[in-house]
Structure 1
Amino acid sequence: MHNNQFCLHIGSGLVAPKEWINIDASPSLLVAKIPVLGSPILSAIGGPKWPNSVHYGDIVKGLRIRQESCELIFAAHVLEHLTLSDFHLAMSNIYSYLKPGGIFRSIVPDLEQYVSLYHFHQRNNSMYSKAAHEFMKESSIGCQGSRRNLIQRLRQAFSNSRHQWMWDEPSLTEAFAQHSFRNIRRCHYGDWSDERFASIEKESNYVSAICIEGTK
């Protein structure tokens, strides 16, 4: 991978601006990299068409980059897809890749907002019996689809859409502090401490979500 100081985009999905090094750990990306067969397989299971600028990389297992080589690191709707133990491994790796003074900015679904909506539905007579189902669906904790055949199982495995651990502002702020980040703050769309974040963030990332930023 890139050896000079650069900006790292973790869990890029299909958003891969040229100013950033874009990585993703989706199983479907690995399939996409298979010569000749990758595209037909993804098409059969309804997988995405990956940009060539996205590289496979797993932040939990670690990346082939130098420590203190990243000026900025950004992850939108990534950390909630990790188990708690894997989250801490990822945070340790992220901190090690940042140069001193580098910034990590992360957006995750806001558990507090989902819980508030759950309680709102409970108080609504027409939604009372559906409150739990709506919470499971909207928070992406549950799975509505069938797993009865191989194609359906593969589609779920390759999507990696379910959330493994949810966060609110206090818990994520504390997690940043545990990993030695400083200048920790809650962010909003457009309040970039470095303008390079503007090329990679989307306002839609902030719907029912929180953004926490910290400096090494």
Structure 2
Amino acid sequence: MESATQLSSLSPVERCQAPAMNTLGFKVQFGCGLSAPEGWLNFDSSPTLRIQRLPLVGKALTRGRVRFPPTVRYGDVLRRLPLADESATHLYCSHVLEHLSLEDCRKALREGCRVLAPGGIFRGVLPDLELLARDYINDSRTDAALGFMTSSMLGRKRRGRGISGLASHVLGNSFHLWMWDFKSLTVELEAAGFHEVRRAVMGDSGEPAFSVVEDASRWTGCLGFQCCKR
């Protein structure tokens, strides 16, 4: 169970959710975006989500933006997910880690390890820096650098300005802040408390629960991983 101190650090919305999430056996996805299958606790920390869920004014303030499905809960993996320690048996993230700074990625992995029960499985997928770099090195075209910066989402073709540019920066998080290859990600996963880290391909977990959350279009040409908690 969460302690009073832990619950007091949560927002009112998070405190309302927390009591129902102090049991065991959850399947948890963080940074879910719009992919929020039934049977999973799907968390996202988008400011747009928080605004959309505001009573009365939420819809008006986010008019024109994509709406989050009702199966998405607000939860920030960089602060603390509203879950008890070791309450999840399955943990998943898809194209999340590359959007975090190095420091924040390490925080997210430690938080994931906190909520995962011993013997639980953590799977994820993200862009493969090694593959992108190899493709760039082997590309003899004059616009190879342009292709690399575009595919890696490390560059910006234009800079948003004015109020609309500021709003896009605050409400969105589409650019990549830190890229990973398998070797470096393995080091970080082990440092966070995971073990038996291996490369993964979609559907090779042996756990049917992951089949509803894994999307083939997100795995193609990317770096998949699987690990466990001791």
User: When the two structures are superposed, what TM-score results if normalisation uses the length of structure 2?
Assistant: 0.86
Q: 1:68 Cα deviation (Å)?
A: 0.6
- Partner Cα distance (1:193, 1:174) in 2: 24
- Partner Cα distance (1:158, 1:118) in 2: 31
Aligned counterpart, 2:23 = 4
Q: Could you report, residue by residue, the CA deviation over 1:45-99 in whole angstroms, capped at 9, with x for unpaired residues?
A: x421111121111101111211010001100001111111111111111111111
Q: Could you report, residue by residue, the CA deviation over 1:165-194 in whole angstroms, capped at 9, with x for unpaired residues?
A: 100111112211222312211110121231
Report the CA distance shift for 1:207/1:70 in structure 2 as closer, same or farther (over 3 A): same
Gaps of 5+ in 1: none
Q: 1:86 is paired with a residue of what secondary structure?
A: helix
1:61 pairs with 2:79: yes
Q: 1:145 Cα deviation (Å)?
A: 3.4
Q: 4, 26, 31: which is aligned to 2:51?
A: 31
1:80 pairs with 2:98: yes
- Partner Cα distance (1:149, 1:175) in 2: 38
Mapping of residues 163-174 of structure 1, within 5 Å: 163-174=176-187
1:158 pairs with 2:171: yes
- Partner Cα distance (2:80, 2:162) in 1: 33
Identity %: 34
Q: Could you report, residue by residue, the CA deviation over 1:72-128 in whole angstroms, capped at 9, with x for unpaired residues?
A: 11000011111111111111111111111011111111001211222233x13xxx1
- Partner Cα distance (2:59, 2:154) in 1: 29
Mapping of residues 61-210 of structure 1, within 5 Å: 61-121=79-139, 123-124=140-141, 128=142, 130-210=143-223
Alpha-carbon RMSD: 1.4
- Partner Cα distance (1:143, 1:38) in 2: 30
Kindly tell me the number of residue pairs found equivalent between the two proteins: 209
- Partner Cα distance (1:47, 1:11) in 2: 18
- Partner Cα distance (2:73, 2:124) in 1: 19
- Partner Cα distance (2:151, 2:52) in 1: 29
- Partner Cα distance (1:64, 1:191) in 2: 29
Report the CA distance shift for 1:117/1:40 in structure 2 as closer, same or farther (over 3 A): farther
Gaps of 5+ in 2: 1-17
Q: Could you report, residue by residue, the CA deviation over 1:18-57 in whole angstroms, capped at 9, with x for unpaired residues?
A: 11001001111111112222222222xx421111121111
- Aligned partner letter, 2:79: K
Out of 139-148 and 180-189, give the one that drifted further.
Answer: 139-148
Q: 1:16 is paired with a residue of what secondary structure?
A: coil
Q: 1:148 Cα deviation (Å)?
A: 2.0
CA contact (8 A) 2:110 2:193 kept: no
- Partner Cα distance (1:137, 1:71) in 2: 36
- Partner Cα distance (1:57, 1:100) in 2: 22
